[in-house]
Amino acid sequence: MNFDLSKTQKMLQASAQTFFQRECPIIKIREIIDSEQGHDKDLWTGIAEQGWTGLILPEEHDGLALSLVDLAAVAEEMGKACIPSPFIASTWASTLIAASDNSTLKQNLLPKLALGESIATVAILEDGSNWDSTSVQLAAQPGDSGTILSGSKKLVLDAESADTILVVARQGTELIIAVVDKSAKGLRINATPGMDLTRRYYQVDFDQVAADVLASGAIAENALKRSTQTAAIITCADLLGGMEWVLKTTVEYAKSRQQFGKAIGSYQAVQHQCADMLLMNESARSATYYAAWALYENDPASDEAINIAKAYCSEAARLVGNSGIQIHGGIGFTWEHDLHLYYKRAKSSEYLFGDQSHHREQLAKLIID
Amino acid sequence: MDLNLTESELRFRDQLRAWLKNNLPEKPIKAKSDHDPDYWSNLRSWQNKMFEGGWAGVTWPKEFGGRGATSIEAGIYMEEMAALDAPERVGTIGEGLIGPTIMAEGSDEQKEFFLPRILNATDIWCQGFSEPDSGSDVASLATKAVRDGDNFVVNGQKIWTSYAAVADWCLLLVRTDNNVAKHKGISALLVDMKSEGVSVRPLRQMSGESAFNEMFFTNVRVPARNLIGELNDGWRITITTLMNERANLGSSIYILFRKNLTALIKRMKELKSGGMCLSDDPINRQKIAQMYLELEIFKLTTNRALSKIANNATPGPEGSILKIYWSEMNQRLVQSAMEILGDQAQLQDFDDGSWVHGYLRSRGNTIEAGTSEIQRNIIAQRVLGLPRSY
C-alpha cells in the first residue's frame, strides 16, 4: 500500500504551483475580482495550454486521460492560489458530457472544452431544491428535435463566461440533461453576486428555450452523479489548497508578530490553534486524495469516500479560516488582508455539491439503512 | 498512489488470519476480578503460543527473532488481531517499547538475555517513568540511584505504571546526577521486579478497573550491569522509547472503535424514542455519519503515516497528530453514543455497562501517552517551528 503521490504527480503539482505563482499572484487576483466578468481569458488560455482543462477527459476527445488524483493535485494548487476561474464549473460540465451517451453532442462539445477553447457550466439548483437530483423540477417538454425548457435556475456558476450551459431538468418523471448555447433565444442571465469574490453566480431563466438532450433517465442520473462526485472532489482539493495557504500564512505571522516582548507564536493559546489547523489539514488531505483515488479506481467504497471528504473538508476549511483570522488579530479582519478572499471562497465551496449536512445524510443512508 | 495491498502484504495478512483462526482461544480471556491470577497466566500462555507460531515481535529484525515486518504489515497485524477479538497482548510494552530500546541501546549481554524472554512471554515488562511530581515534565523525575560497589541503590516512587502488578522487569528512569540540567542527569536501569524493596500498589481508575499502579522503591539494589546505555544518557533513551510508542500508530484502535460504532448502529435500529426508531431520527443520523467519517479519516491518516514510514523509515510527528486525533475523536464518539441511546445508557446493566465504561474510560485518552496539551506543543514546536512556550 502506498499513499504517496508518485514522482510524476509531485512534479505535476509543483509545476502547477509555479505556474500560478508566476501567472496569477495575489495582486492580479484582486484585479480579476474587480473586473466585469471576473475571469481572465489569458489566464484561462494558460491553464488550457498546460493541459489542465482536458486532464481527465478521454483521449478520443483530445483529453489527456489522466487520473482524478492528478487533477486533485492541480486543483489543490488552484485553491492555494485562490484563482478566480470557471475551472470547477467547466470540469463539472465536461465530465457530465463525457459520462453521457449522446455521441454526436459529445463529439461536438468535448474537444473544444478539453482544449480550453470553450467553457461550459451546469445549472441544477432551483428555488426549493437541494443537491439531491430528485428535487429537480424544471420542466422540459419534448420538442421537434430535442426539448423545450421553461423555468428558472439559480446559483449557476460562471453562466456569463460560459459558452454552453447544461441544464438538469425533468421531462415527465424522467431526469434529463439538456444542452443550450448561451446565446439561445428565450434564455436570460442575471448576475447574483455572492459572498465569494472569486466565483460568479447567476440566475438563469428559461422561456421556452429549445435545447438538445445529452442524456435522459438512468443514464442522466448516473452521469450527473459521477460528474457531481468528480466536481465535489475537485472542490475538496480546492478547499485543501486554501487551508494550506491559511496555515502557512498564519504560522509565519505568529513567528514574526511580537507582543509583550515575544513572538505571539510562543503563547500556547496561539500555538495550540496552529497545531489544530495542521491536524485538520492533514485529515483533509487524507480524505481528499483517498476519495480521488477511490472514485478513479471505481472502488466499492467510493460513494462513501466522497461523502466523507466533502463533509469533512467543508467544515475543516471554515474552522481553519476562523483560526487564521483570529490569530492575525485586527489585521486579519480587514479587506486589505488576503485572508477574507480565502475565507469567503471556503464558504461557497462548503455549499457547492452539497454541504456537510447533505453529505452526512447521504452517508447515513449508506451506513445505517 | 495505490491504496490496494500489495501481493506480499496480502500474503502476510492471509497467513496471519489463517493462523489466528486455527489458534485463537475458544472463549475470550476475561478477568473474573481485579486480582485474578488465572487471567495473567492465560494471557502469558497466549503470548507464548503466538511466539511458537512465529507471530510475536513481527516488526523485530530477523536476527532478534522477529519477522522484519514493514510498517504496513505492522498495521495489518494490529488490524487483524483486533478484528478477530484476539486477547490483550500482555507483552505489548516489552515487544513495542523495551525490546526496540534494548536492540538500539543495550549491550550484547543485555540483548542476548532479555530479547528472547520478551518474545516468548517469559518476561512481562512495565515502564517506570512518571512520578507524582513528574508527569508531563517527566525530566524533572526524582527517583534516585546512587552507585554502591557493583550496584545502584534506588529510592523513589513511580505512578501510572501499567502492568506493574504482573511485570517481571521494569525499565526504570532514575536520577544519577543532581548537579547538571535535569535531563542530563537521568539514567535508565533494567530492574528485576522481584528485587527486595520493590512494592506495587494498584490504583483504581474512575472507569472502575485498576489497570495502572504506583511502584515504591526502598533501597532497591540493582546490578550496575543493568544500566542500559551510558550513565546519564537516559533522557535520550527515553525519547527513543517514546518515539517507538508513537510509531505504534493505532491500527487496532480503528478496529475497536469501528466495532463500537457497528454495535451502536445495531442498537439504534432496535430502540425507539418518542415513537421514532433511533435510526430514523435525522439528528441521530447526522451524529452517526459524523462519527463514521471521523473514524474513517483516522484510518486513512494512519495508513498514510505508515506508508510514509515505509518509504522513509523514520517515524516523524505523525504520532502526535494521530494521538490527538483519535483520543479527542473517541471522546466525541462516546458522548454521541450516550446522547443517542438516551437515559438508559447510564445504567450499569444496560449492555453490560459497556457504554458507561467506554464513556468514563475515554476521559483518560487525552491524558495518557502524552497529554493533548503536550502533543500540541510538540506539533507547534517541532513541525511548525514555533518558539518554545516554556
Question: Cβ–Cβ of B301/A272 closer than 8 Å?
Answer: no
Whether B203 is covered by a domain: the verdict is: yes
On whether both A248 and A290 belong to a single domain, the answer is yes
pLDDT of residue B241: 76
Q: What percent of chain B has pLDDT over 90?
A: 79
Q: How many domains does chain B have?
A: 3
B178 burial type by CB count under 10 A (0-12 exposed, 13-18 middle, 19+ buried): exposed
Handedness of CA A225, A228, A234, A240 (dihedral sign): negative
Rounded to the nearest integer, the mean pLDDT of chain A is 97
Could you tell me the CATH number of the domain that includes residue A94? 1.10.540.10
A124 burial type by CB count under 10 A (0-12 exposed, 13-18 middle, 19+ buried): buried
Contact by Cβ (8 Å): A121, A157:
yes
- Which chain B residue has its CA at the smallest distance from A306's CA? B293
A323 burial type by CB count under 10 A (0-12 exposed, 13-18 middle, 19+ buried): buried
| Three-class secondary structure of residue B157 per DSSP | strand
pLDDT of residue B318: 80
Name every chain B residue with its beta carbon within 8 A of the beta carbon of A251.
Answer: 384-386
Task: Report how far apart the first and last C-alpha atoms of chain A are (Å, whole number).
Answer: 31
On whether both A251 and A321 belong to a single domain, the answer is yes
- Which chain A residue has its CA at the smallest distance from B381's CA? A271
Entry pTM: 0.94
Whether A246 is covered by a domain: the verdict is: yes
pLDDT of residue B310: 83
On whether both A208 and A282 belong to a single domain, the answer is no
* A139 pLDDT more than 90: yes
On whether both B162 and B256 belong to a single domain, the answer is no
Contacts of A78 (CB under 8 A, 6+ apart): A16, A20, A85, A87, A238, A241
Whether B99 is covered by a domain: the verdict is: no
Grid coordinates of A67: 487520473
On whether both A297 and A344 belong to a single domain, the answer is yes
On whether both A237 and A362 belong to a single domain, the answer is yes
On whether both B309 and B198 belong to a single domain, the answer is no
Measured CA to CA, the distance from residue B307 to residue B249 in angstroms comes to: 12
Please name the member of B282, B292, B321 whose beta carbon is closest to the beta carbon of A367. B292
Contacts of A162 (CB under 8 A, 6+ apart): A86, A89, A90, A93, A119, A120, A121, A182
Task: Give Cα separations from A320 to A315, B19, B314 (angstroms).
Answer: 9, 46, 28
* A325 pLDDT more than 90: yes
Residues B69-108 have pLDDT tens digits of 998 999 999 889 988 989 988 888 899 889 999 999 999 9
On whether both A254 and A354 belong to a single domain, the answer is yes
* B238 pLDDT more than 90: no
Ramachandran area for residue B350 (φ above 0: left; ψ -120 to 50: alpha; else beta): beta
Write down how long chain A is: 369
| CB proximity B332 to A under 8 Å | no
Phi, psi of B138, deg, nearest 5: -65, -25
Name every chain A residue with its beta carbon within 8 A of the beta carbon of B288.
Answer: 364, 367-368
Alpha carbon of residue A38 to chain centroid:
16
Query: In Å, how far is B10's CA from the nearest CA of chain A?
Result: 10
pLDDT of residue B308: 86
Measured CA to CA, the distance from residue B70 to residue B86 in angstroms comes to: 21
Best CA proximity match to A240, nearest among A287, A286, A292, A284: A284
Residues B122-134 have pLDDT tens digits of 999 999 999 999 9
Could you tell me the CATH number of the domain that includes residue B189? 2.40.110.10
Could you tell me the CATH number of the domain that includes residue A197? 2.40.110.10
pLDDT of residue B245: 63
Task: Give Cα separations from B373 to A57, A269, B324, B384 (angstroms).
Answer: 47, 10, 9, 15
On whether both A180 and A312 belong to a single domain, the answer is no
On whether both B227 and B130 belong to a single domain, the answer is yes
Please name the member of B2, B3, B379 whose beta carbon is closest to the beta carbon of A278. B379
Handedness of CA B124, B130, B136, B137 (dihedral sign): negative
Residues B328-348 have pLDDT tens digits of 999 999 999 999 999 999 999
- Catalytic residue, chosen from B245, B296, B339, B373, is B245
Whether B118 is covered by a domain: the verdict is: no
B245 has catalytic annotation: yes
Whether B113 is covered by a domain: the verdict is: no
pLDDT of residue B251: 79
Whether A207 is covered by a domain: the verdict is: yes
Could you tell me the CATH number of the domain that includes residue A226? 1.20.140.10
State the pLDDT confidence band at B34, using cuts at 50, 70 and 90.
low
On whether both A155 and A286 belong to a single domain, the answer is no
Whether B114 is covered by a domain: the verdict is: no
Q: Domain of B187? A: 125-233
Q: Look at residues A216, A243, A272 and tell me which one is the last residue of a structural domain.
A: A216
Q: Which residues pair with A168 in a beta bridge?
A: A177
Whether B120 is covered by a domain: the verdict is: no
Contact by Cβ (8 Å): B352, A232:
no
- Which chain A residue has its CA at the smallest distance from B321's CA? A279
Measured CA to CA, the distance from residue A279 to residue B134 in angstroms comes to: 28
How would DSSP label each residue in A1-42?
A: -B-SPPHHHHHHHHHHHHHHHHH--HHHHHHHHHSSSS--HH
On whether both A107 and A182 belong to a single domain, the answer is no
* B378 pLDDT more than 90: yes
Measured CA to CA, the distance from residue B287 to residue A365 in angstroms comes to: 13
Whether B216 is covered by a domain: the verdict is: yes
Return the HEC string of A63-106: CCCCCHHHHHHHHHHHHHCCCCCCHHHHHHHHHHHHCCCCHHHH
On whether both B334 and B253 belong to a single domain, the answer is yes
Whether B177 is covered by a domain: the verdict is: yes
On whether both B334 and B227 belong to a single domain, the answer is no
Query: In Å, how far is B264's CA from the nearest CA of chain A?
Result: 10
State the pLDDT confidence band at A309, using cuts at 50, 70 and 90.
very high
| CB proximity B384 to A under 8 Å | yes
Lowest mean pLDDT among A222-236, A276-290, B301-315: B301-315
Mutation choice for A interface testing from B291, B384, B388, B390 by most A CBs within 10 A = B384
Rounded to the nearest integer, the mean pLDDT of chain B is 93
Measured CA to CA, the distance from residue B131 to residue B129 in angstroms comes to: 7
On whether both A199 and A257 belong to a single domain, the answer is no
Whether A323 is covered by a domain: the verdict is: yes
On whether both B78 and B198 belong to a single domain, the answer is no
Measured CA to CA, the distance from residue A281 to residue A246 in angstroms comes to: 10
Measured CA to CA, the distance from residue A151 to residue A111 in angstroms comes to: 30
Beta strands in chain B (DSSP E): 125-128, 144-148, 151-162, 169-175, 186-192, 198-203, 212-223, 227-228, 272-273, 276-277
On whether both B82 and B32 belong to a single domain, the answer is yes
Measured CA to CA, the distance from residue A200 to residue A194 in angstroms comes to: 7
What would the mean pLDDT of A49-61 be, rounded to a whole number? 97
Question: Cβ–Cβ of B5/A1 closer than 8 Å?
Answer: yes
Q: How many domains does chain A have?
A: 3
Name every chain B residue with its beta carbon within 8 A of the beta carbon of A265.
Answer: 380, 384, 386-387
On whether both B297 and B213 belong to a single domain, the answer is no
Measured CA to CA, the distance from residue A74 to residue A9 in angstroms comes to: 9
Q: Which residues pair with A147 in a beta bridge?
A: A142, A211
Question: Cβ–Cβ of B4/A69 closer than 8 Å?
Answer: no
On whether both A225 and A360 belong to a single domain, the answer is yes
- Which chain A residue has its CA at the smallest distance from B307's CA? A2
B389 burial type by CB count under 10 A (0-12 exposed, 13-18 middle, 19+ buried): middle
Measured CA to CA, the distance from residue B193 to residue B167 in angstroms comes to: 7
Q: Look at residues A216, A231, A266 and tell me which one is the last residue of a structural domain.
A: A216
Strands B169-175 and B186-192: antiparallel
Task: Give Cα separations from A135 to A130, A170, A180, B177 (angstroms).
Answer: 6, 10, 21, 74
Q: ipTM of this predicted complex?
A: 0.93
Measured CA to CA, the distance from residue B192 to residue A212 in angstroms comes to: 84
- Which chain B residue has its CA at the smallest distance from A362's CA? B289
Q: Look at residues A191, A216, A241 and tell me which one is the last residue of a structural domain.
A: A216
Q: What percent of chain A has pLDDT over 90?
A: 98
* B314 pLDDT more than 80: no
Q: Domain of A32? A: 7-114
| CB proximity B303 to A under 8 Å | yes
Name every chain B residue with its beta carbon within 8 A of the beta carbon of A276.
Answer: 376
Measured CA to CA, the distance from residue A251 to residue A324 in angstroms comes to: 9
On whether both A17 and A155 belong to a single domain, the answer is no
Measured CA to CA, the distance from residue A4 to residue A301 in angstroms comes to: 20
Question: Cβ–Cβ of B389/A276 closer than 8 Å?
Answer: no
pLDDT of residue B309: 83
Could you tell me the CATH number of the domain that includes residue B347? 1.20.140.10
Task: Report how far apart the first and last C-alpha atoms of chain B are (Å, whole number).
Answer: 40
